[in-house]
Structure 1
Amino acid sequence: MEAASLAHGVASPLSPREGMIKNLSLESLQLCERDGKAEDPGVVGMELPVARNIKISNITCDSFKICWDMDPHTTEKITHYFIDLNKKENKNSNKFKHKDVPTKLVAKAVPLPMTVRGHWFLSPRTEYTVAVQIASKQTDGDYAVSEWSDIVEFCTADYSSVHLTQLLQKAEVIAGRMLKFSVFYRNQHEEYFQHCRDVLGGRMMPSVKDNSGSHGSPLSGKLEGIFFSCNTEFNTGEPPQDSPYGRFRFQIPAEVLFTPDTRLYFGDFYCMYTAYHYVILVLAPRGSRGDLYCRDRLPELDVTNNRFLTRVCGEDGRVVFQHAQDVILELIYTEPVPLAQGTVSQISGHQLMSLSTVNAKKDPSCKTCNISVGR
Structure 2
Amino acid sequence: MVQKNIKIGRKEFDYNLPNNPDINRFIIKVHNETANQRSYYFFTKTEEWILMANDEDCVFMTIYGTRDNGEVLSKDFYNKPTSGEIQKQSSRPYQSMCSMSLNTINCEVKERVPLPNVSHPVFILKGSQEGGTNFYVQILKHENTEFIQLSTSVNNEIKDSTIELQSRRNYTCKLYKVDKRDEQYVVTADNSYLSLKTRNCQRDVEKLKEKAKSYIQGHSVYSVNYLYRNKPSCHPTILQSKKTGIIAKYLKDNNGDQYSSINNNICGLHFSATPANSSGDLPMSSYFGDYRIMIFPEYLVDGCHLYFADFFCMSRIHWVTLVLTKAGSKEDDFCQNRLVKLDIENNPFFYKVGASYKVTSLDVEILYTEDINLNEMRLKMGFQEKTTPTCGKGRSTPGGRPKNTSCSSCNLPHY
Instruction: Report the TM-score, using the length of structure 2 for normalisation.
Output: 0.55
Counterpart Cα distance in 2 of 1:106 and 1:191: 49
Counterpart Cα distance in 1 of 2:68 and 2:289: 46
Partner residue, 1:188:
231
- 1:125 Cα deviation from its structure 2 partner: 6.2
Of 243, 266, 270, which residue of structure 1 is paired with 2:308? 266
User: Once the two structures are aligned, what percentage of the paired residues are identical?
Assistant: 24
- 1:253 Cα deviation from its structure 2 partner: 1.0
- 1:288 Cα deviation from its structure 2 partner: 2.0
Asked whether the equivalents of residues 258 and 311 of structure 1 are also in contact (C-alpha less than 8 Å), the reply is: no
The AA in structure 2 aligned to 1:338 is: N
- The alpha-carbon distance between structure 1 residues 153 and 334, as it changes in their structure 2 partners (threshold 3 A), is closer
| TM-superposition CA deviations, 1:191-211 (whole Å, max 9, x none) | 347524333x20111100001
Counterpart Cα distance in 1 of 2:143 and 2:241: 57
Counterpart of 1:369 in 2: which secondary structure?
Answer: coil
Asked whether the equivalents of residues 60 and 78 of structure 2 are also in contact (C-alpha less than 8 Å), the reply is: no
Partner residue, 2:327:
286
The AA in structure 1 aligned to 2:356 is: V
- The alpha-carbon distance between structure 1 residues 217 and 111, as it changes in their structure 2 partners (threshold 3 A), is closer
CA-atom RMSD in angstroms:
4.4
Partner residue, 2:55:
none
- 1:301 Cα deviation from its structure 2 partner: 0.6
Query: Whose strand proportion is higher, 1 or 2?
Result: 2
Asked whether the equivalents of residues 14 and 111 of structure 1 are also in contact (C-alpha less than 8 Å), the reply is: no
Asked whether the equivalents of residues 247 and 351 of structure 1 are also in contact (C-alpha less than 8 Å), the reply is: no
Partner residue, 1:329:
364
Partner residue, 2:245:
202
Counterpart Cα distance in 2 of 1:172 and 1:188: 29
Partner residue, 1:295:
336
Alignment map for 1:28-39 (pairs within 5 Å): none
| TM-superposition CA deviations, 1:293-333 (whole Å, max 9, x none) | 111211101110111110232xxxxx1101110x2111100
| TM-superposition CA deviations, 1:11-31 (whole Å, max 9, x none) | xx9969xxxxxxxxxxxxxxx
Query: Which structure is larger by alpha-carbon Rg, 1 or 2?
Result: 2
Across the two proteins, how many residue pairs are aligned to each other?
270
Partner residue, 2:280:
237
Counterpart Cα distance in 1 of 2:299 and 2:143: 54
Mark the runs of 5 or more structure 2 residues left unpaired by the alignment.
1-19, 24-58, 81-86, 93-141, 150-163, 175-190, 378-382
The AA in structure 2 aligned to 1:295 is: Q
- The alpha-carbon distance between structure 1 residues 248 and 152, as it changes in their structure 2 partners (threshold 3 A), is closer
- 1:177 Cα deviation from its structure 2 partner: 3.4
Partner residue, 2:35:
none
Counterpart Cα distance in 1 of 2:300 and 2:401: 26
| TM-superposition CA deviations, 1:219-270 (whole Å, max 9, x none) | 01011101111111126531112212111211111110011x2210011111
Mark the runs of 5 or more structure 1 residues left unpaired by the alignment.
1-12, 17-47, 59-63, 82-103, 131-149, 314-318
Asked whether the equivalents of residues 229 and 293 of structure 2 are also in contact (C-alpha less than 8 Å), the reply is: yes
Asked whether the equivalents of residues 51 and 68 of structure 1 are also in contact (C-alpha less than 8 Å), the reply is: no
Asked whether the equivalents of residues 224 and 357 of structure 2 are also in contact (C-alpha less than 8 Å), the reply is: yes
Partner residue, 1:251:
294
- 1:71 Cα deviation from its structure 2 partner: 6.5
Partner residue, 2:374:
339
Partner residue, 1:89:
none
Alignment map for 1:134-173 (pairs within 5 Å): 153-173=194-214
Alignment map for 1:22-171 (pairs within 5 Å): 51=62, 65-66=71-72, 124=168, 126=170, 128=172, 153-171=194-212
Counterpart of 1:279 in 2: which secondary structure?
Answer: strand
| TM-superposition CA deviations, 1:54-111 (whole Å, max 9, x none) | 99997xxxxx94468756999x967889xxxxxxxxxxxxxxxxxxxxxx9779xx99
Q: Which has the higher contact order (CA 8 A, sep 6+)?
A: 1
| TM-superposition CA deviations, 1:164-207 (whole Å, max 9, x none) | 111111111113332111111110122347524333x2011110
- The alpha-carbon distance between structure 1 residues 72 and 211, as it changes in their structure 2 partners (threshold 3 A), is same
The AA in structure 2 aligned to 1:197 is: S
Partner residue, 1:312:
353
Counterpart Cα distance in 2 of 1:67 and 1:322: 53
Query: Whose helix proportion is higher, 1 or 2?
Result: 1
The AA in structure 2 aligned to 1:362 is: K
Counterpart Cα distance in 2 of 1:237 and 1:333: 20
- 1:151 Cα deviation from its structure 2 partner: 9.5
- The alpha-carbon distance between structure 1 residues 288 and 72, as it changes in their structure 2 partners (threshold 3 A), is same
Counterpart of 1:249 in 2: which secondary structure?
Answer: strand
- 1:287 Cα deviation from its structure 2 partner: 1.6
Instruction: Report the TM-score, using the length of structure 1 for normalisation.
Output: 0.60
Asked whether the equivalents of residues 222 and 359 of structure 2 are also in contact (C-alpha less than 8 Å), the reply is: yes
